[in-house]
Amino acid sequence: MIDMKYMLMKSIVVLAAMLIGMPSSFAESKLTAEQAENGKPIYEKLCIGCHGERGKGDGAAANFLRPRPRNFKIARYKFTYTMYGKLPKDSTIFNAIAVGLPGTSMPGWEDTLTDDQIWDVVAYIKTLSRKFTRAEKKKRYPKPIEIVDVPKEWTGEDIKQGYELFKKNCVKCHGVTGLGSGSTAVALKHDLGDRIWPRNLTRGWVYRGGNEPKDIFRTIATGITGTPMPAHLETMKPEDIWKIVGFVNSIVKREPPRVSEVIISRYVEGGLPKRPTDKKWDELPLEYIPLVSQIVEGNRWFTTTLESIYVRSFYNNDYISILVEYDDPSQSPLETPIEMFPENEPDSFAIQLPTIIPTGMEKPYFLNGDDDAPVNLWKWTNNTNGNGADALLGKGITNAVLMDESSQNITVKSVYDNGRWKIMFTRKLKVGQESNLDFEVGKYIPIAFNAWDGNNGEKNEQRAISIWYWLLLDSPSSMNVYLFPLIIGLMIAGGEVWLIFKAKKG
């Protein structure tokens, strides 16, 4: 009798607990076998090419992709609200499929699939791992973390304390500037063996798991399963994690910069900046140019690490200087080569220009020109004293040869500082040599870029490239190109003021 009463009490308590509303993940997944059935053909149509027939992350495209597509069989999901190593909630998987994972090849599907269809695919990919069935059978659902007390803002002091905590906990991977150049960064690996780089924390637009403060909190708290990025909630107080979030929030840019079609070289009277770190460079805006992997010709290359560059340029009556800078998590060659890349190639960078300024819009072939329209390559390599660049004549990506002695007239100064290269190329405006470009003021000159990350095994055709952009030497006599838009703006604003004034009067 007593037993019965006890049993009844117990089930009432359990029932009440369920009704009061436990976190949804404690409830059994609401997805059904029928949904999984419906999800299968969607998966086979849209996902199989990357994730593979049985979801082992081994689709036809997988070998070309870094990071690799997720292996659904081992079910090590990365961007979850559950702690490192634990299964994710259904809604987390839904979200990754709907929105995609920025900065990777995983697209978002919310424009292609309805919510119901996405839930169907979630149901299906869960059937690819026995871990979910086992968890369901045992009614063991990992507990998601709670994200509460989100600060509305951070004081300077919070951010300072956040940086102190960052130094203790994060710099060995993410580096003192957050650009991903920590001392251990070059040797990090994913559980499945691939190399993995710590995120460049300034590039919020490639955060996979969201770049809002609460997302960053979650990443730091739970860690990223399968990667060296550890969970911090077990070792740190939430308020300390929030301070680190405050620091990351202070360096993250959420939108990618606008791509510059035209790089304006600005005229200066007198001397050009002497060094890549010269303050004078700050007078110019950073022109942003994205890089892509060279997957067109020769030994194609799918896994570049360098994502983009910034370019600025000054010229005077005799010389032009072009400053290129970019984030690179390691300066190569390394002092101690790593096991993965024993060749320890040097970093290298080339500016590409036509040998003569084309008339009209025609440009040489973008991969180092061809016989009909060769290109000049100014190629710097990080194995000299950092003072020179080779002048090469390019007639194709596997056909770039050193020009003669008299054409070797490019000086370079380079510095590497905690995850960022700054490389300054300087040459005479006019050299009067056949096959060597003479710059002209006011003309649109095609310009393109090639970059080799030595410590990513890049050499020869295996490199990051850009398409053609334009370089324009701003005419010193005409109206300053920077002032021009400003003046137009003022005229429009002036006109509006006048209209308002008139309307008020009338």
* Contact set with ligand HEC (CB under 6 A): 46-47, 49-51, 61, 65, 67-70, 77-79, 93, 96-97, 101, 104-106, 109, 121, 125, 169-170, 172-174, 188, 196, 198-199, 201, 207-209, 216, 219-220, 224, 227-230, 232, 244, 248
* Cβ nearer to ligand HEC, comparing 32 with 387: 32
Alpha carbon distance 427, 412 (integer Å): 9
Residue 163 or 281 having the CB closest to ligand HEC: 163
**104/399 with CB nearer ligand HEC:** 104
- Residue 199 or 363: which CB sits closer to ligand HEC? 199
User: Which residue's CB is nearer to ligand HEC, number 151 or number 396?
Assistant: 151
Q: Could you tell me the smallest distance in angstroms from the CB atom of residue 467 to ligand HEC?
A: 22
> Shortest Cβ distance from residue 295 to ligand HEC (Å)?
14
Number of neighbours of residue 490 by Cβ within 10 angstroms: 11
| Shortest Å distance, C-beta 254 to ligand HEC | 12
Q: Kindly give, in sequence order, each residue whose CB lies less than 8 Å from that of residue 63, ignoring residues fewer than 6 positions away.
A: none
Residue 170 or 367 with smaller CB distance to ligand HEC: 170
How far apart (Å, rounded) are the C-alpha atoms in residues 285 and 472?
14
Q: CA dist 3 to 7, 14, 15, 23, Å?
A: 6, 16, 18, 30
Contacts of 289 (CB under 8 A, 6+ apart): 259, 260, 308, 309, 310, 311, 449, 466, 469
Q: How far is the CB of 502 from ligand HEC (least distance, A)?
A: 53
Residue placing its CB nearer to ligand HEC in the complex, 47 or 471:
47
Q: Which residues contact 439 (CB under 8 A, 6 or more apart)?
A: 315, 320, 429, 430, 445, 473
Q: State the nearest-atom distance from the C-beta of 341 to ligand HEC, in Å.
A: 17
Structure tokens at 281: 């460079």
Closest to ligand HEC by CB, 101 vs 389, is 101
What is the closest distance, in whole angstroms, from the C-beta atom of residue 48 to ligand HEC in the complex? 8
| Both tokens assigned to 439 | 């710059």
- Between 244 and 471, name the residue whose CB sits nearer to ligand HEC: 244
Least spacing, CB of residue 245 vs ligand HEC, in Å: 8
Block residue for tokens 């509460």: 148
Residue 179 CB, shortest distance to ligand HEC, in Å, is: 12
Q: In this structure, what token pair is assigned to residue 437?
A: 């470009």
Q: Rounded to the nearest whole angstrom, what is the least distance from the CB of residue 138 to ligand HEC in the complex?
A: 23
Cβ-Cβ contacts under 8 Å for 329 (sequence gap 6 or more): 175, 179, 180, 181, 185, 186, 197, 198, 200, 305, 419
The count of C-alpha atoms lying within 13 angstroms of the C-alpha of 196, restricted to the half-sphere facing its C-beta, is 19
184 Ramachandran zone, left/alpha/beta (phi>0; psi -120 to 50): alpha
